[in-house]
Chains A and B, each alone.
Chain A
Amino acid sequence: MKPSLADLPVGQHAAIESIDCDRSLSRRLMEMGLLPGTRVRVVRVAPLGDPIELRLRNYSLSVRRAEAARIAVSPEAAE
């Protein structure tokens, strides 16, 4: 099993592998720049544990855990 965005600890950089949400959501995420190979990092988790905030392509985006769990990533080696 590939790790997903929901599994990433805060601060960890990773590269997107694939997105497996329903079509309209996948399309929306891709158009906002989440594409295979895009570098992404979990910035923080909301005070109540969900959603999470991501940093990619010079901006911040928040998604729910349920959706983040369908985005496979490959974590980068720790710096």
Chain B
Amino acid sequence: MRDSETPPQVLIAGNPNCGKSTLFNALSGGSAHVGNYPGVTVDRTSARLRLGERDVELVDVPGMYSLTASSPEEQLAVNALTEGDTRAVVCVVDATTLERGLYLALQLIESGVSVVIALNMMDSAERLGLRIDTERLSQLFGSPVVPVVATKRRGLDTLLAALDEALAPDSGTKKANVTYPPELEADVAELVPVIAQWRSGTAPSQLRAVALWCLLSLGEDSLRGVPDDVRNAVHRIREAATAQGRNLDLEIISSRYVWLDGALGEVCTTRDPRPSWSERIDRVLTHPVVGLVVFASVMFAIFEALFAGAEPLISAIERLTGFMQAQAAAILPPGVLQDLVVEGIIAGVGNVIVFAPQILMLFLFIGFLEDSGYLARVAFVIDRVMKGVGLHGKAFVPLLSGFACAVPAVMATRTIERRRDRLVTMLALPLMSCSARLPIYILVVGTVFAGQSLGWFSAGAVALFSMYTLSVLVTLAAAALIRRTVLPGPAPTFVLEMPPYRWPSAQILWINAWRRLRIFLVDAGTIILAMTILLWALLSFPKSAEVAEHYTAERERVQQMALSDVEKADALRSLDSQEAADQLANSLGGRFGHAIEPALRPIGFDWQIGVGIIGAFAAREVFISTLGVVFGIGEADEENTPLREALRDARHADGTPVMTPLSGVSLMIFFLLACQCMSTIAVVRRESGSWKWPVFLFSYMTVLAYMASLAVYQGGQLLGFG
């Protein structure tokens, strides 16, 4: 079974913005496999590569500035280095910011792994007049240095040849060796025996690197798998050093930079070559006035694209789903199997792919912003506002996208680096009033506020505007509250590199957006499909034979009557709708709606709206079509007049109308705040990596929605509305 053997692993590491992923895609030809690192929700992108006589697995490690870690996510690079069958690392270094990139390379070399340095963006460096003596650099670091231009696929063959050589047994070249102060060497010597017990069988030079890593990383961390012996020893050594007035972190890091500065003095000529055009762009894009205008325009463009631009594609997918359903209904005999295929499976698949246009669009946009360097400026411009509620500047684009749809917005949180910040954003943004809520507002407004006005404004416009304002306020308040209670911790720090502006590659944008979509379709899609089928079953079973017999008899009666064909068809259609309504009332979902009516009465709803809410878990707008069935109208949309009339005519048992302006407002607030969307649940499950967070999200939003509707309805009645 030669094929199933795992080939040796080669990591591609580098700073963020160094063109690492571009190089990965150039080497792998876009044939990557996306999985997950065990235990953390970070995508693990890898690809098989033929290298000389052997296969290797190329792994794209997330961008990083250093191997130092304090969270499991930062730890995965170190784990990949030490625990997997990692034989070599390609360290991608942006040739225009050598020092910072080589700091990482230096750490990698210290760790004992075979390193090939890929000096990327050599063309930019040359244009800036930056001269780099790569041969001397290679001697100083004891590792091959290959100049490449990943975007133009230049230097790739040389890089692969160097990598093939690096995979051969160690040639014994002298590696870079940083000189640390004697006190620090003494500390390392004290720690090494403890490390040796933990990592038995590791070469002495590597033990030293692990000791340095522990001294720098441990303390106030949440790292996994470090034995207590090591922790205690590090704690003791750090305490002793602090007592002597030493700063161990500073000693380690500055020794490395001193070594680097010395080395760079030998290989590099010009300094500070920032491209002046990038600086000129920044003068405009971060200008106090123009910068804000550009910012608002770009954000509006994203919003418009998601909200309106995706609409034709979404309608096309919905029409296609409807067409497939009609085809299946024509082929299959009527019965449970037909219903399962039409209303369960095809509807479920439709529910999944309907998100594809918005996900693709948002990720093409975000990819463009990120790769061009503008996303960092977005965060720079808006951070002041976001910091007030304990969010990172990078949370802005996901929050804004939430106005269109929470599903792509939750996926967009992955641009936020720290897991805690990402979770806070992910858990708050489903409160943004997404486009699926709009049909419900329109139905309610058209039902209870038709023709009414408040001063100069129509009552409906005021209600709609209030919903959107409320959604923004509640989202920000929820983020601030979640940050203080459920996910406590230091406010996100904002240490963000402002990369020079670059023109993104269309191919890379497309590969990445497509990859994201595929992950959604596979991981979240299966959950959405399963939930659609479950919901269908809930609203279809048990079937009442009694109801069916009754309507069969009724149909026969109509057939006997002396009516014109048109009148007959109308009467039969109306019977079909009534039968569907009675069967729905008899189903588990219908009975559940009845059962929870006592809980719904205090917020102004009856069992019929309760059934609508249950159906709306598939997607909020399904509320309307479910109500159409509940009221025996058949197919209905938010502009449907019979549905509005049926709602207006609906009466509680005591004869009072169900839909009043007050219960209408209560219903809108309920839909604004409740997590009536299984797709959001599915995507939060995918992006947070556990069921814990979607369950929390659903619970807190449902409780919040119920309490708010209760306050509105009861308070309103006390004040004499309703």
Contact = CB atoms under 8 A, between A and B. Distances in A.
For the residues of A in contact with B, the DSSP-based class is mixed
Given A30-B250, A67-B494, A58 B380 contact: no
Interface stretch (B205-213, B281-289, B327-335, B669-677): B281-289
Nearest to B253: A30
A72 B97 CA distance: 24
Contact of A50 (B66, B383, B493): B383
A54 B646 CA distance: 64
Given A35-B253, A57-B99, A51 B291 contact: no
B702 interface: no
B198 interface: no
Contact of B292 (A29, A33, A47, A49): A47
Contacts of B100: 32-33, 57, 59
Contacts of A67: 493-495
Nearest to A27: B249
A51 B253 contact: no
A44 to B, nearest CB: 6
B273 A58 contact: yes
A35 B385 contact: no
Contacts of B282: 44
A27 B96 contact: no
B253 A62 contact: no
A49 B249 contact: no
Interface in B235-290: 249-250, 253-254, 257, 271-274, 282, 286-289
Contact of A24 (B70, B98, B253, B496): B70
B286 A46 contact: yes
Contacts of A47: 286-289, 291-292, 381
Nearest to B67: A31
Q: Which size bracket describes the interface of A in this complex?
A: 20 to 34
A46 B285 CA distance: 10
Contacts of B272: 55, 58
B180 to A, nearest CB: 15
Contacts of B98: 58
Given A27-B249, A58-B96, A33 B103 contact: yes
B680 interface: no
A2 interface: no
B274 A60 contact: yes
A79 B271 CA distance: 18
A67 B274 CA distance: 25
A10 to B, nearest CB: 12
A45 to B, nearest CB: 9
Nearest to A25: B493
Contacts of A51: 380, 383-384, 494
Contacts of A33: 99-100, 103, 257
B209 to A, nearest CB: 16
Interface string A38-79: 000000101111110101011111111001000000000000
Nearest to B383: A51
A26 interface: yes
B274 A48 contact: no
Given A25-B493, A57-B99, A59-B497, A35 B254 contact: yes
Contact of A61 (B66, B384, B498): B498
Contacts of A22: 490
Contacts of B97: 57-59
A27 B68 contact: yes
B271 A58 contact: yes
B179 to A, nearest CB: 16
B99 A53 contact: no
A36 interface: yes
Contacts of B249: 23, 26-27, 30
A33 B498 CA distance: 15
B286 A61 contact: no
Contacts of B696: none
B715 interface: no
A73 to B, nearest CB: 16
B292 A63 contact: no
Contact of B495 (A23, A29, A58): A29
A75 to B, nearest CB: 18
A72 to B, nearest CB: 14
Given A27-B216, A30-B249, A33-B103, A61 B257 contact: no
A16 to B, nearest CB: 11
B65 interface: yes
**Max count, chain B CB within 10 A of own CB: residue among A36, A49, A53:** A53
B220 interface: yes
Contacts of A49: 384
A63 B494 contact: yes
A32 B65 contact: yes
A43 to B, nearest CB: 8
Interface string B117-145: 00000000000000000000000000000
B175 interface: no
Interface in B446-475: none
A57 B249 CA distance: 20
Nearest to A35: B254
A28 B495 contact: yes
Nearest to B498: A60
Contacts of B493: 25, 28, 64, 67
A28 B383 CA distance: 19
Contact of B254 (A25, A36, A50): A36
A48 B493 CA distance: 17
A64 B292 CA distance: 18
B103 A62 contact: no
Nearest to A64: B494
Given A46-B383, A46-B384, A64-B494, A58 B274 contact: yes
Given A46-B383, A53-B286, A59-B274, 6 more contacts: A27-B249, A33-B100, A46-B381, A49-B384, A62-B496, A67-B493
20 contacts: A24-B70, A27-B216, A27-B253, A28-B493, A30-B250, A32-B495, A32-B497, A33-B100, A35-B254, A36-B250, A44-B286, A46-B381, A47-B288, A51-B383, A53-B380, A58-B271, A58-B273, A58-B274, A59-B497, A64-B387
In order of increasing CB-CB distance, the 5 nearest A-B pairs are A48-B384, A60-B498, A31-B66, A59-B97, A30-B253
